[in-house]
Amino acid sequence: MNGAEPLDIAVIGLGLIGGSALRALAAAGHRVLGYDADPTTRATARTAAARAPQGARWQVTGTVADAVSPADVVLLAVPLPAVEAIFGELATSGYSGLVTDVTSVKQPVRELAAKTLHAAGQSLAGFVGGHPMAGRERSGFGASEAELFDGCAWVLCLEEGTGLDDWLRLAALFTAIGARVVPTTADEHDRAVAAVSHVPHLLAASLAGHAANDPLALTLGAGSFRDGTRVAASRPGLVAAMCGGNAEAARHTLDAVIADLQAARAALDGPDPIAALEPWLTPGYTARSRWPVTPGTPEPMRADPSALRALGRAGGWVTTVDAARRTVVAVRPA
């Protein structure tokens, strides 16, 4: 229990992320209620609960209202298009506790939360946007596991209006199930994921689409084509929703990448393309050779919002939280 009291937690949406959170939070000793809109998923999650070790079991409810009524914390683990309706159900159910989510864009969810809560006469104060970077090839409750978050980066947004104690309470929950909690803002998160996920999907699609017109190229394609286009095999509807749902940040990164490729084009056009390309290639080489980030030495830190945001901006994260003393253990890249 990491020294903290057991909480009542509602997990809404029992796919890969929700199902894994249900398992991990129950195993950490919390009282967890789960709900999913799909009756088959609810039945599967109930059967799985009965097989879980004593003391690590969860319950599955038939409605959102039943799951959230006793809750201290609600974890929304539904896809982006379903988020607005669930915010509406939370508002009409009279729930007024802490809410967090796991969707892959944060500014649009923050706007939805503000709109729905405002309509219900409530404020954004109790909403803390989140995003565990824990994708897998497989999805659904069947792929969920309590260990999914071990060592994974879990973004928790710490905006100007976010209550520090709310943020620390959630950070304590998620570090206790193994996550590296990354403090940042919706805006900075959305730019970062545009750079490392959304725009890479666009480049992969473009490369694969270009080769599609050249059967010889598809036959000659080897490792660099395989890896550079791997995510182009993701369903276009999902990728469009992900990139289009983060349009502003994706445009920003795409503009930078297009400008950069135009510089490479100019280098290829010059009198000595080889000499001109080498310095153009070097920053990416340096960055990629040092990736993934090597963790530095863990250090205790007072939990101050701007210091935490600076930690996230520097590529750092939180591994342990003492919510009562408002201190954390922070790790920065070595």
Binding mask 213-232 for its own copies (x = CB under 8 A): -xxxxxxxxxxxxxxxxxxx
Question: Between residue 141 and residue 160, which ones bind its own copies under the rule CB under 8 A?
Answer: 153, 155
Residue with tokens 């982006």: 80
CB of 57 to its own copies, least distance (A): 30
Tell me whether residue 122 or residue 320 sits nearer to its own copies (CB atom).
320
Cβ atoms 14, 141 nearer than 8 A: yes
191 binds its own copies (CB under 8 A): yes
DSSP 276: H
Q: Which stretch binds its own copies (CB under 8 A): 4-12, 47-55, 110-118, 246-254?
A: 246-254
Q: What is the strand order of the sheet 98-101 is part of?
A: 59-60, 31-35, 8-12, 73-76, 98-101, 127-128
Using CB under 8 A, pick the residue from 37, 85, 203, 301 that binds its own copies: 203
Using CB under 8 A, pick the residue from 120, 143, 247, 301 that binds its own copies: 247
What are the φ and ψ backbone dihedral angles of 34, each rounded to 5 degrees? -115, 150
CB of 276 to its own copies, least distance (A): 8
Question: Between residue 275 and residue 334, which ones bind its own copies under the rule CB under 8 A?
Answer: 275-289, 291-293, 312-317, 333
**Greatest Cα pair distance in the chain:** 72
Q: Which stretch binds its own copies (CB under 8 A): 18-26, 56-64, 119-127, 254-262?
A: 254-262
How many residues in the shown chain lie near its own copies by CB under 8 A? 103
CB of 101 to its own copies, least distance (A): 16
Cβ atoms 84, 74 nearer than 8 A: no
CB of 128 to its own copies, least distance (A): 17
CB of 14 to its own copies, least distance (A): 22
261 binds its own copies (CB under 8 A): yes
Cβ atoms 115, 91 nearer than 8 A: no
CB of 245 to its own copies, least distance (A): 7
Amino acid at 273: P
Question: Between residue 11 and residue 70, which ones bind its own copies under the rule CB under 8 A?
Answer: none
